[in-house]
Amino acid sequence: MSQKIPVTILTGFLGSGKTTLLNQLLESGLMADSAVIVNEFGAISIDAELVVGVDEEILQINNGCICCTVRTDLVTTITNLLSGTKPIRRILIETTGLADPAPIIQSFIVDEVLSTKTMLDAVVTVVDATHIDRWLADQSTGENIAAEQIAFADIVVVSKLDLAEEGRLAKCEATIRAINPMARVLAPIEGRLNVASIVDVKAFDLKNCLAIEPLLLSDLEHEHEHDTSVISVEVREERSLDGPGFFKWLNAFVQQNGDRLLRCKGILSLTGEARRWVFHGVHMTLEGRPGRPWAGSEPRISAIVFIGRGLDAVQIRNDIAGLTQPDASLVA
């Protein structure tokens, strides 16, 4: 029988640093002949755009979580990959920040094709040292997704320690251990992880999963209940934005909505700017930086996503439309 293909599930709450870690993996060269599947909650893809340019195939599953609404898309995507002619040595799946790992793990155990041809290597959960306490304290739904992501982890990577106070790692580790005493806890040094410690590690253990979720294999109807109050507002703008005006608006918006705004991110076309601008926000933290230059033939379209509760999509879109400059896309 041919060898089973190892699969890494990369999960972690919104904005915790999954794509950042994926980029480190891709840059390391360890991922040669791997297939990477990126799942996004919203209809427009931003993560896939921010994955470093590499030879590995990046497949996208958008507009829902692979743990529920687009779960069959995951099985179909992998089945197609496995029946293709291109040899694949490894599969890595980056979930959305709202994904429950349990139904995804279940697919690999119970689906006939996946269980025959692949084996879970590790569930790797990224934990944001600066926001994890706040997320774990969220009781707005019966199921705390950040806790589930830690509970099912074989490996936990603690991110953003550079932004946290001294001693934060020890506190995070205690929090993680209280939820999952078995997981290996890793911390990047100066923002970089020894990525060899998270792939081809054979860390997945079904026994641990069954201890957390005894119905994992038998309850095929196990439907993960998504927090339907969390919505995604996508903005796609073909006219370039006035940079200072947009960032002033964004700062004010984040200050006013930081509690219910879980995540925002975007790739922007700014007037008079030859480079794409990328910004990230998690609650009230915001970070922006120039990205690669717009390619000559590339349409200069801004793509922005806001994820949160009680967001007013019409107001957000109107506000942003008011910050565009009609002829700006001609100015580079």
Ligand X SMILES: Nc1nc2c(ncn2[C@@H]2O[C@H](COP(=O)(O)OP(=O)(O)OP(=O)(O)O)[C@@H](O)[C@H]2O)c(=O)[nH]1
The residue within the footprint of ligand X, chosen from 7, 14, 145, 316 (CB under 6 A), is 14
47 lies in the binding site for ligand X (CB under 6 A): yes
Residue 70, CB half-sphere, CA atoms under 13 Å: how many? 22
Please, are residues 226 and 98 in contact by the beta-carbon 8 Å criterion?
yes
**Alpha helix segments (H runs only) across 111-204:** 112-117, 132-136, 145-151, 168-179
Going from the C-alpha of 162 to that of each of 14, 55, 135, 159, 184, the distances in angstroms are 18, 31, 19, 8, 20
Tell me which stretch binds ligand X (CB under 6 A): 146-154, 156-164, 175-183, 208-216.
156-164
Q: Which 3 state secondary structure label does DSSP give 183?
A: coil
Task: Return d(Cα 106, Cα 222) in angstroms, integer.
Answer: 9
Query: How near is the Cβ of 293 to ligand X at its closest, in Å?
Result: 20
The residue within the footprint of ligand X, chosen from 117, 160, 224, 283 (CB under 6 A), is 160
Site string for ligand X, 192-231 (x = CB under 6 A): ----------------------------------------
- Number of residues located near ligand X, criterion CB under 6 A: 19
The residue within the footprint of ligand X, chosen from 16, 77, 125, 149 (CB under 6 A), is 16
Tell me which stretch binds ligand X (CB under 6 A): 10-18, 62-70, 135-143, 224-232.
10-18
Task: Return d(Cα 16, Cα 94) in angstroms, integer.
Answer: 12
163 lies in the binding site for ligand X (CB under 6 A): yes
The residue within the footprint of ligand X, chosen from 15, 64, 101, 103 (CB under 6 A), is 15
Residue 242, CB half-sphere, CA atoms under 13 Å: how many? 12
Site string for ligand X, 235-274 (x = CB under 6 A): ----------------------------x-x---------
Pairing of strands 57-61, 261-268: unpaired
Please enumerate in sequence order all residues whose Cβ is within 8 A of that of 147, keeping only pairs 6 or more positions apart, or say none.
Answer: 136, 179
308 lies in the binding site for ligand X (CB under 6 A): no
**Cβ proximity to ligand X, 19 vs 257, nearer residue:** 19
**Cβ proximity to ligand X, 163 vs 211, nearer residue:** 163
Q: How would DSSP label each residue in 99-124? A: --HHHHHHHHHH-HHHHHHEEEEEEE
64 lies in the binding site for ligand X (CB under 6 A): no
Residues that bind ligand X (CB under 6 A): 12, 14-20, 47, 97, 159-160, 162-163, 191, 263, 265, 280, 287
